[in-house]
Structure 1
Amino acid sequence: MTITTRRLIFWGLVIIFFTITPLIIAYGLGYSFDWQKKTFIETGSFYFASSPTSGTIYINNKASGKTNKYIKRLLPREYEIVIKKDGYQPWEKRLKIESGIVTEARNILLVPQNPKIEIVQKDVAQNFSLSAFTLTKTEKQKIELASTTANTFFKNSPYQLVNDDIFYLKITDYILYKTDLGKIKKQQTSLEPLPVDSYKISVSPDEKSIAALGKTGRLFLLNAGQRIFEEIAASNIKDVQFSPDNKKLFYYSETELVVLYLDKILIQPYKEKGQKETVTRFSEKINSAIWYPEDNEHIIFVVGDTVKLIELDDRGQRNIYDLVKMQKFAKGTWENPQTIYDSKKERLYFINNNTLYSLQIKTGQLW
């Protein structure tokens, strides 16, 4: 081998080294070549977590593994995401990848295609209470004691029992008070009276947030710092409910369901404290709504003769599912629908035509 050949080989290797090394370093740092923009771009990642797990992830129609999973080295742009699992309705969303950022969807709920519905009890009484049906013996005893205390000491005042405390609105001055079950302690919670009306009191599980819903449809939320009620909806509100994790509440009119964030949400999609969002609108009447307490990121509600479930994640579009269509297995119209979710048994209960039914959303199978 001549010296000239050796020099050519040496300098060729040097050129290859200085050409390939930056590419290897760039790849190791998470960069990929974008053929559309003809340049190297820092990539991003997806993270998907679903209940149940093992749903197949499709990114732009290409299978990319199963939940729960990180998917790395994706160029910044929007992607069509579909997650499928046999026996479940697909979850679909358009999500954006940004350079150096993990885009997350941690609360994906895969809803059964045909959840089995079980008749729990026939010929239930007209005054049958679903909430009482799901209570434990201890919880029932507390409610009975609270009722006795209310009838004895502040009769006709609206109240709510939370933990071992009773919050009640004194009808003589429309001021909110708090006492314990034994009425040993008493403290004034609000400083200024609410407008004259008939109210329903709702208190969050941690007792830090309190709402008052008037019969006229006006909704007030207690400003804990100033200890005064502030109006958050002027009319037509039918009900309000705090989430079990205390971070949000929803309220609804006959046609609109709204969520209000009571705390800053630090997981994607991020939300600011005080942020309001219209979750859904319908031309049909919204009859009732409850939180899905397994993740606090879905709401179950009744429209017409259909029980539906909707997610709060508003990126792309919200996934909304039909859980039950009453006309498929029950005759007549669904009047005054009652629904409740029992976290202990992981069952959704509902009543139609004096019959109590249940189904399990989490697995699509009954206990």
Structure 2
Amino acid sequence: MSKRFIFTILTLLVIGVAAAVAIFLAKGYTFNPKEGRVVGTGIITVTSVPDAASVYIDGHLTTATDATISSLVPKEYTVKVIKEGFIPWEKTVKVNEGLVTDLKVTLFPAIPTIYPLTFNSVKNPVLSPDGGKLVFIVPSGKKPGVWVWTFIDNRPIAFARGGQPHQIAANGSINYNEAALRWSPDSKQVLASIGDNNYLLQDEQLNTEPRDITPTLTNTNKTWEDELKQRDWAKLLTIQDVAKRQEASSAAIVRWSPDETKLLFRKDQLSAKEKDPKAILGGFKVFDLETESKYDIPDARTQTWLPDSRHIVLVEDGKISIVEFDGTNQAVIYAGNFEDNFAFAWPDSSRLVVISSFPTPTASEPNLYGINLK
């Protein structure tokens, strides 16, 4: 047997082995020195808003977003995403063989920007059920009464070209300054209750002769409650697991995420002590319909969804936090003066709105202020 023939055979063997190794690597296999064998690997994809953030895997700078990190041995990894000027994000994730772990990261500003949205004093703001309108009372100024802000293209109408918030009821023979406001389930009407009198206001016009529905208030409330129950039941039917559906349907408090893929709920009714507006409420959980997973949510005075359906806004004593729907990465967004446990988010999740005032001669009255989230 000639040397040339042997060399050819060895060359073919080397090429074959190299090709096999390349194929195994391409399929996500790697050699695990701890186990002394070839094992399958997994992948982590990381996207962030904003992008171009540094990604650390187990403390090692690995890449920048948006990125795909492949050939990872199946195990738990600590992933940290950092960008200057933003609150760091960190989570322990499990990588499984042959699967992709998709991480969608939202980074919030480390230093909040707060700015006024109104200037004539504001009371009792209430967000509509569809999240697209805000009704509030202007108690003083040139046009006191009830006003509505409508959101257009994910912006309040006042920020759209030529748009302004509009008045739907003016103080006069009826003084709305102490009115309790409530939206109808379809977000088209506002109920203003003043003492024993109850007025139904249309949200798109100035109600010069508001309709007093006090004689039919009980029926109106029942109709609205029935409509809300029907909507909630239709959503509950989307839960395939019967046991989980029963658990959700028996919950005392249920708040669906805007995209209706998750629900924030609490099993028990509020106690007498918890009905105090300053009380801290616990026992809230999130059920993810897509993964059928359940998560505990931190205690707070109020827990409401951010419109992106991936985060929950927590209002506590003197501060506002945002936490991911799985209860991780709680970040304090704002700490300072704000009133009435009131905080709601723009429809595009770009900012929060609070009621606040400042101890100066020109800013002592409560007004709406925006807090940037991007």
Is 1:113 the counterpart of 2:110? The answer is: yes
- Give the counterpart of 2:285 among 236, 247, 259: 259
Are the equivalent residues in 2 in contact too, given 1:150–1:157 (CA < 8 A)? no
Counterpart residue number, 2:333:
323
Counterpart residue number, 2:344:
340
1:229-260 deviation per Cα after TM superposition (whole angstroms, max 9, x unaligned): 95314xxx6xx533211223324663315234
Change (3 A) 1:322 1:344: closer
Change (3 A) 1:352 1:241: farther
Counterpart residue number, 1:194:
none
Is 1:301 the counterpart of 2:347? The answer is: no
- Give the counterpart of 2:256 among 215, 227, 242: 242
1:49-86 deviation per Cα after TM superposition (whole angstroms, max 9, x unaligned): 22222222111223232222222111112111111111
Is 1:142 the counterpart of 2:140? The answer is: no
What is the letter of the counterpart of residue 321 of structure 1?
A: A
Are the equivalent residues in 1 in contact too, given 2:321–2:332 (CA < 8 A)? yes
CA distance in 2, matches of 1:247, 1:232: 17
CA-CA distance at 1:296 after TM superposition: 0.4
Are the equivalent residues in 2 in contact too, given 1:287–1:336 (CA < 8 A)? no
Are the equivalent residues in 1 in contact too, given 2:306–2:349 (CA < 8 A)? no
Q: What TM-score, normalized to structure 2?
A: 0.64
Gaps of 5+ in 1: 160-165, 170-175, 179-188, 191-202, 211-222
CA distance in 1, matches of 2:76, 2:329: 18
Gaps of 5+ in 2: 128-133, 137-147, 151-164, 169-186, 192-198, 202-210, 237-241, 271-279, 358-365
CA-CA distance at 1:308 after TM superposition: 0.5
Which sits farther off after the overlay, 59-68 or 15-24?
15-24
Are the equivalent residues in 2 in contact too, given 1:121–1:357 (CA < 8 A)? yes
- Give the counterpart of 1:232 among 234, 243, 251: 251
CA-CA distance at 1:24 after TM superposition: 2.3
Matches within 5 A, 1:171-210: 176=226, 208-209=234-235
Are the equivalent residues in 1 in contact too, given 2:296–2:326 (CA < 8 A)? no
What is the letter of the counterpart of residue 149 of structure 2?
A: L
Counterpart residue number, 2:4:
6
- SS of the residue corresponding to residue 149 of structure 2 reads coil
Are the equivalent residues in 1 in contact too, given 2:305–2:312 (CA < 8 A)? yes
Are the equivalent residues in 1 in contact too, given 2:262–2:289 (CA < 8 A)? no
CA-CA distance at 1:142 after TM superposition: 2.4
1:106-158 deviation per Cα after TM superposition (whole angstroms, max 9, x unaligned): 3x110110021113345624445563156327997922499358927841457
Are the equivalent residues in 2 in contact too, given 1:248–1:259 (CA < 8 A)? no
RMSD: 3.6
Counterpart residue number, 2:131:
none
Counterpart residue number, 1:168:
224
CA distance in 2, matches of 1:150, 1:42: 70
Counterpart residue number, 1:162:
none
Q: What TM-score, normalized to structure 1?
A: 0.65
1:347-366 deviation per Cα after TM superposition (whole angstroms, max 9, x unaligned): 311013524321121x2xxx
- SS of the residue corresponding to residue 208 of structure 1 reads helix
Identity over the aligned pairs, expressed in percent? Answer: 23
Aligned length: 281
- SS of the residue corresponding to residue 232 of structure 1 reads coil
- SS of the residue corresponding to residue 15 of structure 2 reads helix
Is 1:288 the counterpart of 2:302? The answer is: yes
CA distance in 1, matches of 2:261, 2:108: 24
CA distance in 2, matches of 1:158, 1:37: 69
